[in-house]
A = this chain, B = another copy of it.
Amino acid sequence: MTYYFEDFKVGDAWEFGAWSLTREELIAFAREYDPQPIHTDDAAAGRTAFGGVIASGWQTTLKCIRLFVDGLMRETAGLASPGLDELRWLKPVRPGARITARATVTEVGESTSRPDRGRVHFLISGVDESGEPVMTAKGLFFVARRPRRG
């Protein structure tokens, strides 16, 4: 099954399952990509209002993106994404927190220049166990139109 542009409608929604991080995974990611003490140094982080290390917002984002790719984009005739808008890290994510990845279609549209594709806009989010978003982002993807049979 491959999803094409015509298959996406405003309001379509998915829940992709959940992820969580151990303290070690959280620190290892931050050491490689975002080495700030709030993410890498338990003692220094313990002296802040957060009371201990919190996940890099980039790791939170990528864990949700991975589930979005696995759960939807790998079966979609996606052509490219020019980027994301309004990436927001709304709540600290601590080791052991269970975060559910979701996506909703917020807008679909014709391509202004390419008749073979359309635009699909998603709101991608990670939601904690109290139901509050820890991360949201608005993603735009170009998706191929369904090939004509004939």
Binding site for B on A (CB under 8 A): 32-36, 57-58, 61-62, 65-66, 69-70, 73-74, 78, 81-90
Closest Cβ neighbor of A33 among chain B residues: B62
Given known contacts A57-B81, A57-B83, A81-B57, A35 and B66 CB-to-CB distance under 8 angstroms: yes
Q: A32-B66, A58-B65 are in contact. List 12 more A-B contacts (CB 8 A).
A: A33-B62, A33-B65, A33-B66, A34-B62, A34-B66, A34-B69, A35-B69, A36-B69, A36-B74, A36-B78, A58-B61, A85-B85
Q: How far is the CA of A39 from the CA of B66 in the complex (A)?
A: 13
Q: Is B88 a contact of A35 with CB atoms below 8 Å?
A: no
Given known contacts A82-B88, A87-B83, A89-B83, A58 and B69 CB-to-CB distance under 8 angstroms: no
